[in-house]
Structure 1
Amino acid sequence: MVKMQPDGIYGKLYREFIGNNNPSSIPTGSYDCAVIGAGVCSGHIEADALPEIFRVVKPGGVITFNVGDYRFREKQFGLVLETMLQRYLENGVLETVIKQRTIYMYNCDDGNVYILKKSSSKIISEA
């Protein structure tokens, strides 16, 4: 997709591996939002990469992603994801705008759509 993008559409392009406690070079609070479609799952964007994605979103910014139920059956992925999200929600780093059930996602499986808002007053390290 990067090769197919029109010239000049992106102001700055980062190509980095995010996950396994590997910090990126993207400055904190660089983006108003993060949108991930069908990418949060084992083998792609693991749950341990989400704190880094949360970090690069500005305070008050929005993070949205979807996860099919079948992903929760892979390598304890769902347990790790839900535990991590609960910690951020309880600590006030994130708030749930929407967590909505969806039907017939990829592989004809139900799932959840998450829309989260990053706190204006808390920082990621507080989670």
Structure 2
Amino acid sequence: MAHEEVGWSYVNDVVYQNNPKDRNEAYSRMAPVYDVQMKNVGSVGNRGLVKVAFHLVKNDETSQMLDVAAGTGWTAEHFRDSGYVGQIDGIEMNAAMLDIARKRGLYRKTFCQEVVDDSPLPVADSTYDVAIAAGAFLENHLPQGCIPHILRALKPGGLLIFNCRITEKNSKYQMILRDLLALLVSENTIELVTEEKIDFYQSSCKEDGKPMKAFAFVYRKL
């Protein structure tokens, strides 16, 4: 079996779970081989998101970043490799994934908690200059309604940076997400800084047999 076929079997196992319990168990199974399998399928969405946003981020030793749905720490690692020198905290619902992230030595502190739409994050309001979520805004992962909770964790002027895959399966989810973002813009809660289309997976994905794209978003809290 080709490397990318092996990788997709792991990716699909977590993406297509229908409830939090099964999803968490799937991530626990995948955690020991997550980084390898992401490379097998040509996962570049994290790196692409950092490339879009890095020049916009406050980057000094006082800067504070929250990595939402941190996984094994890929996004934080890309920020460090790009030269980010501030503090990074991570929040991740899966203990096995978070354990790997902690061992990378990238985070000041971490929180093992699911990010939901009806409970606040385990951090103080107006703490962070940047909040980033790579690869997590999709069905049965981060709910669209968690965005106000993430925004509360940001300082005024702080950046919310995330991507959202472009697939038929994710189209309804993305429509609801965009409606919420438009509402927040109309209420002068946030403003759009940039939106770009980026590569997400470089190998052929399950839904249409083509390399997957994603939208990369950067919003500023007003």
1:47-67 Cα offsets, whole Å, 9 max, x none, are: 111211111111111111111
| 1:56-95 mapped onto 2 (5 Å cutoff) | 56-70=153-167, 73-74=169-170, 76-95=172-191
CA distance in 2, matches of 1:111, 1:10: 26
Task: Provide the C-alpha distance between the structure 1 equivalents of 2:212 and 2:107, rounded to a whole number of angstroms.
Answer: 34
Q: Deviations over 1:20-45 (max 9, x none)?
A: 31223311112110111111111211
Give the structure with the larger helix fraction.
Answer: 2
Q: Counterpart in 1 of 2:15?
A: none
Q: 1:110 aligns with which of 184, 192, 213?
A: 213
* Structure 1 segments unaligned to the other structure (5+ residues): 120-127
- Separation of aligned partners in 2, 1:111 and 1:24: 26
Task: Measure, in 1, the Cα distance between the counterparts of 2:114 and 2:179.
Answer: 23
Q: Distance in 1 between matches of 2:197 and 2:133?
A: 17
Counterpart in the other structure of 2:99:
3
Instruction: Verify the 8 A CA contact 1:69 1:112 in the aligned structure 2.
Output: yes
Q: What is the distance in 2 between the residues matched to 1:28 and 1:93?
A: 15
The superposition leaves residues 80-124 of structure 1 with CA deviations (integer Å, 9 ceiling, x where unpaired) of: 10110001111111111101122x4233123211011111xxxxx
Please give the root-mean-square deviation of Cα atoms over the aligned residues, in Å: 2.2
Partner of 1:18: 115
**Is residue 153 of structure 2 the alignment partner of residue 50 of structure 1?**
no
| 1:38 is aligned to 2:145 | no
Contact 2:144 2:176 in 1 (8 A): yes
Q: Distance in 2 between matches of 1:75 and 1:97?
A: 22
For the Cα contact (< 8 Å) 1:36–1:65, is it kept in 2?
Answer: yes
Query: Over alpha carbons, which structure has the higher Rg?
Result: 2
Alignment TM-score, normalising by the size of structure 2: 0.47
Aligned partner of 1:95: which letter? E
Identity over aligned residues, as a percent?
20
5+ unaligned residues in a row in structure 2: which ranges?
Answer: 1-71, 73-97, 206-210
Question: SS of 2:124's equivalent?
Answer: coil
